[in-house]
Amino acid sequence: MAQQAAGDAVARSAVTSFRAQMRGAAQVGEQRSTLASTGADVNAGSAFQVQQDTRLMTQMDEDIIRNNAAREAYGYNVKAQEEGQQGAYAMQTARNQELGSFIGGIGKVVGIAGPRLGDIPTGSEATIDSPNADNAIEA
């Protein structure tokens, strides 16, 4: 979800940047028209400098738009990475709990059966006369 939002932020910035570029170009066109109507040479002197300043400001606006989008996308990407790490941590915690339950169950079985296993003769202790000879375990 966060990765999708990051991609969306970059895509939106492309559209917004293009709109800023179009507004800047329209503004330069208006400046040229207005300056030409006064008889000024639009390709020289202060009339030209005004247009250059407008182009520069337009470029700065576009850069700010793209930079803000990149920062927004970075924030979403960091969030996505954190969410992935939290998911991996949750999976490992679940595995550890599962293993703990299994080991705990074995401990209970050994705790219950352990004292009884001590009553079973092994190897040479097992004889026919032994009361537990049927339960003898070979060593």
Q: Is residue 14 situated within a structural domain?
A: yes
Q: Is residue 18 situated within a structural domain?
A: yes
Which residues span the domain enclosing 17? 2-84
Q: State how many domains the chain has.
A: 1
pLDDT at 104: 83
For residue 113, give the H/E element and its range. Answer: helix 45-117
Q: Is residue 31 situated within a structural domain?
A: yes
φ, ψ (nearest 5 deg) of residue 8: -65, -40
pLDDT in tens, 53-79: 999 999 999 999 999 999 999 999 999
Q: Is residue 112 situated within a structural domain?
A: no
Give the tokens for residue 114: 């352990």
Q: Which residue is it, tokens 């080991």? A: 103
Q: Is residue 35's pLDDT more than 80?
A: yes
Measured CA distances, 95 to 81, 89, 92, 98 (Å): 21, 10, 5, 5
pLDDT at 117: 61
Q: Is residue 108 situated within a structural domain?
A: no
Q: Is residue 79 situated within a structural domain?
A: yes
Q: Which residues pair with 122 in a beta bridge?
A: 137
Quote the pTM value. Answer: 0.57
Q: Is residue 109 situated within a structural domain?
A: no
Q: Is residue 132 situated within a structural domain?
A: no
Q: pLDDT-derived band of residue 132, with 50, 70 and 90 as boundaries? A: low
Find out whether 69 and 10 touch, Cβ atoms under 8 Å: yes
CA nearest 53: which of 19, 20, 27?
27
